[in-house]
Structure 1
Amino acid sequence: MNKSIPIVLAFLLVFAGAGLVRAQRLSVNTDIANIRSGPDTGDAVIWQVEKYHPLTLVKKQGSWCLFEDFEGDRGWIHNSLLADINTVIVMNDKCNVRSGPGTDNDIRFTVDKGVPFKVLEEKGDWLHVIHADGDQGWIHRSLVW
């Protein structure tokens, strides 16, 4: 048997598996964070996000992170403003936040698209979430990213 075949197979498996690695998801861990056009405080602020806003890391450059958000928008954020927190963001124009995990529970409040929450607990397809202002309730997983 050719001795190079196992080496080539191992090489192919490593690189084929690399595409299967899940992108790292981080969350904003400060009240308001500036999103910049480049990896420097001298670069323009292109928008701001609030606490618990989830982001998918695209690449790191020094102490800066290029990310993509739930709408596919990209920007740069300093890594000191991020944490590994389980968070979600509302994808629908309107979303009911309920008193318990199920549509038979009362609606506590309704939120708009783009409102982020920290996940406290999961029960099936329902998420017990809390907003940075302290409001909490349950949201169906299909309504968030």
Structure 2
Amino acid sequence: MRILAFMLIAISGLSLSEPATAQQEPPYWASIDEPEARMRTGPSTEYPTMWIYKREKLPVKILARYKAWRKIEDHEGTQGWMHARLLSASHTGLVLATSGKPVAMRALPSGSAKIVWMAEPGVVGSLTQCEKGWCLFDVTGRRGYISTDDVWGDEPLK
């Protein structure tokens, strides 16, 4: 009986309502996981909406946590609160519009490697293998290495 009581106490202490990635300590990267997501001035639906995002997979920085809410920052530096259910742990990047021209995606992580695709400013894709100034960038199956100077969502945050 004592063992059963201990097991029930141990199980009741587990939180199954949030994914494991939600337990990560800020700052960390996430992405918007819905076609429409509201950024609010505070961590509750009682606070006014300050921005409505209509870009699924858009990368955001998670700066703080309060219950089921996350304080985020977007690529323009705008900060506000978004409910955790609107976010994903997927690591994505946004092609920057620094030059206003398409950005090269290369076959290898080198500025002299063959260009395999061109990505327009504002394009969002998955980021992996980020090292030495390059990330593997995947936009709906079109993959290539992109310079970290041309994408937002890759810099170390800790």
TM range (shorter): 0.5 to 0.7
Query: Aligned pair in 2 of structure 1 residues 119, 41: CA closer, same or farther (>3 Å)?
Result: farther
Unaligned runs of 5+ in 2: 1-24, 153-158
Give the Cα separation in 2 of the matches to 1:123 and 1:57: 21
Alpha-carbon contact 1:96-1:111 (below 8 Å) kept: no
Alpha-carbon contact 2:108-2:144 (below 8 Å) kept: yes
> Could you state the TM-score of these two structures normalised by the residue count of structure 2?
0.61
Matched residue, 1:63 = 68
Give the Cα separation in 1 of the matches to 2:137 and 2:107: 11
Give the Cα separation in 2 of the matches to 1:49 and 1:97: 25
How many angstroms does 1:76 deviate by?
Answer: 2.3
Q: Secondary structure at the match of 1:50?
A: coil
Alpha-carbon contact 1:31-1:51 (below 8 Å) kept: yes
How many angstroms does 1:41 deviate by?
Answer: 7.8
Give the Cα separation in 1 of the matches to 2:28 and 2:69: 15
Of 107, 110, 122, which residue of structure 2 is paired with 1:99? 107
Unaligned runs of 5+ in 1: 1-21
Q: Deviations over 1:98-126 (max 9, x none)?
A: 333223312412311x4332213235322
How many residues were matched structurally? 122
Matched residue, 1:35 = 38
Alpha-carbon contact 1:87-1:117 (below 8 Å) kept: yes
Residues 106-125 of structure 1: matches in 2 within 5 Å? 106-112=115-121, 114-122=122-130, 124-125=132-133
